[in-house]
Amino acid sequence: EFAAIEGLMDGRTQIKGFSQADLADGQPSVVNFWASWCGPCVQEHPLLVALKVKTGVRIFGVNYKDQPVAARRFLGRYGNPYTAVGADNSGRGAIEWGVYGMPETFVINGQGIVVYKHVGPISLETLEAKIIPAVEAAKAAK
């Protein structure tokens, strides 16, 4: 369970956190671990926006060991492709997910099971050759 980042707003609505149940509701999704202090996260961010536009998949963000104000500033500057954003202030969630470093991205099927894991920043090549096909396969497997 990832609680919402304190004060994280999109316009005037509070952006909620998410739980394992949100990832197992029959719809595929993507979980992306990121931080405002992570240079590669800045590089990959436009590709997450493109993924959302291209596939319509829900993307859940996990903000890792970050300051809420810095996370808000990051999303304000680079855009917010996330359906929900949870905070992993202690790093415990990243350990449970087996995350090695920032950023890391997971494609989750409708049953909440990881079907693809990408370590490091997403490149355009990885997006088109690995991530989008994994999302489409997860959609087809309903």
* pLDDT tens digit at each of 142 positions of the chain: 676 666 565 555 555 678 888 888 999 999 999 999 999 999 999 999 999 999 999 999 999 999 988 998 999 899 999 998 988 989 999 999 999 999 999 999 999 999 999 999 999 999 999 999 999 999 998 6
Alpha helices (H) along 16-119:
20-23, 39-55, 68-78, 92-97
pTM, full prediction: 0.91
Residue 40: asked if its preceding bond is cis (omega within 30°), the reply is no
